[in-house]
Every structure is written in C-alpha cells, then in structure tokens.
Structure 1
Amino acid sequence: YVLRRDYPAARIDYNRLLELDPQSYSGRLGLATLEQKEGKFRESLEILNKMITATPDDATLYIARADVEREMKHEDLALVDLEEAIRLDAASADAYLLRGNIYLAQKKKGLAKADFEKAISLGVPPADLHEQLKQCK
C-alpha cells in the first residue's frame, strides 16, 4: 500500500497488525515509515525512538531515523545515526547510500563518492548510482 501511496489502506493494515501484536517489529517500523511518507515526521520519530530504546543494536532503526532526520533538515543528527548504524552493521549498503546522499547535498563530494563506492562494493549496482557519482566530480 505504501508503494502505491494508498496510505489510508496501509494505516488500516498496520493498525490491525499492531492490535494483534502491539510489539510487532514490522508493524511499528511500517507505521513509522507511513508517518514519514505523510510528512508526520515527529510521529515517525516518536515510534522510531521507542523502537531504538527497546532494541539499541538494530542498525535498520538508526537508518530509518536518519532518513526522517534528513527530511527534517537535521543532517547532523542523521549523520550521527548513520555512524551508529555503520558501527552496528558495517555491511549495510543503505547506511552508506543515505550518508553519501547527505554528504552530496552538503557539497562534500569526496566523502559522498567514498560512500557511494562503498555501497557499490556491498552490492548496489553501479548503474543505480550513476547520477550521484557524476555529481561527485
């Protein structure tokens, strides 16, 4: 539903899932993503903060929170979360991709290029990063 932007249907499904299992990881993460897509960043952060408190060793949660922080224009907070995500899971291409995009937006082209190259070494197809790498020159 989220990919089709059918947010009301997605919300119904996530709420049903959370009624059955209030601690559902996928339900809570999905709801946080839905809140982000709808521009409800504070609500998304609230969910992610609670999840990180309960599961502080989950790199995926730090990446998700960093993405929300990036959208809120809090790049410095996002970079701190991405550092933690990489510390927890150095093989996370998503963390390097997001950090590379933040660096690129900050005009830190050398750092961005290094992160994009790392993401490629972790399995991201080079063609997927063609535009970003071109901007790093």
Structure 2
Amino acid sequence: MKHLAILFILVATIGCNNEESINGDDLYDDGKYQEAIEAYTAYLATHPDHKKSIYNRGRSYEEIGQRNKAIQDYEQLLKIDPKYINAYLSLAKVSYNNKDYNKVLVYTGDAIDLNENSAQAHFLSGRAEHQLGYFDQALESYNNAITINRDFGEAYLYRGAVKVGQERLRSACEDFKFAKSLNIPEADKAIKDYCK
C-alpha cells in the first residue's frame, strides 16, 4: 500500500511537470513570452535536459529581445545534443540580427553538414554572404534554398536583390514577381523600384 501511494505521488508530480512544459508552449503560442519562460524554467528545474523546453525557452527569450539568454539556451542544447539542427539555425538567426555575419556562416555550415537539404540553412547562409559582399556565393545559396523548397518566397526576393546588384534586372524582376505570388510583402516595393 505504501509503495502504491509513492507511485501515485510520483506519477502526479511527473504529470504536473509535463503540464508546465505544455503550458509554456501554449503561452508562447499566445505571445506571452515572459510567462512562457517562467513555465519552461519551472519544468527545466526537474527536467534539465528536456530539449524541446530548452529550445522553446530560447525562442521566448529571443521574442523579448534577450538574445544573450537565447544564445545560452541554444548553446546548452547543443551540449546535450550536438545534432539539434534547429539550435544551429536559431544561433544563425540571432547572429544575423547581431550583424555577426561570419558567425552566421559557421552555424549554417554546421546545419548544412547535418542536413544538406535544409532550405533555411542555405537561405540564412545566403543572407550572410549577401551582407558580406560575397554575391556569387549568396546567389548559389539562394539557388540551393529554392531548389530544396520551390515555395521559399524570401529566397526569391533576396536572390532578385543580388541580381539587381549584378544588373540582371529582367531576371531580378522574375524573382520579385514570383516572391509576390508567394505573398512576400516586400516584393511589391522591389517590383515598383526595379521593374518597369
């Protein structure tokens, strides 16, 4: 009887802790990022290696502008699971927002090593290469992203921007128009500015 009571308490505790993680996901989805962080932190107190909660807490930190704490979560996650590709992609995004384009290339390189068919990794690599002035490499990265995902509207938009710099306006306009057909809002301005 005593063992049964202990088992019941253990199951109830695990259930409550899992609810904190699920609650964190719901709070994140509702845009309540600070509350989501608190829920994930409570869950991680008893489940410190729960990868999804660490990752989602990092995303929540990003949403409230606490990039350093987001980076800490993503790096902690990679210590637990060095093949967690979304952590590399998130580190690349944070690095891009911090204008540290060389780090973006390191993280996207790691992601591509894990999954060469990651359209997002190729796209982020292209964005960093574009910012660094490596236009041929950026074009290749955008092409790779589009080859993997034909509906990647942002890749068309930024590939078009590279082509504008190369004075290939007709081809750039084709990309802008395709980006518009994929509901990329910035495409309208690009069409207005470069396509007569």
CA RMSD of aligned residues (A): 2.0
For structure 2, the 5+ residue unaligned runs are 1-60
Mark the CA change 1:43 to 1:68 in structure 2 (over 3 Å): closer, same or farther.
same
> What is the CA–CA distance in structure 2 between the aligned matches of 1:131 and 1:122, rounded to whole Å?
15
Q: Secondary structure at the match of 1:69?
A: helix
CA spacing shift, 1:134–1:3, aligned 2, 3 Å: farther
Q: Select the structure of larger CA radius of gyration.
A: 2
Give distance in 1, aligned partners of 2:97 and 2:114: 23
Deviation at 1:4, TM superposition (A): 5.1
Residue in 2 aligned with 1:67? 127
2:187 corresponds in structure 1 to: 129
Q: Which has the higher contact order (CA 8 A, sep 6+)?
A: 1
Alignment equivalent of 1:83, drawn from 143, 146, 151? 143
Counterpart for residue 48 of structure 2: none
Secondary structure, aligned partner of 1:124: coil
- 2: distance between equivalents of 1:7 and 1:51? 20
Q: Percent identity?
A: 26
CA deviation after TM superposition for structure 1 residue 108, in Å: 2.6
- Name the amino acid aligned to 1:12: Q
The number of residues matched between the two structures is 135
Name whichever structure is richer in helix by fraction.
2
Is residue 138 of structure 2 the alignment partner of residue 97 of structure 1? no
1:24 and 1:89 mapped to 2: Cα distance? 21
**Aligned mates of 1:134, 1:75 — CA distance in 2:** 23
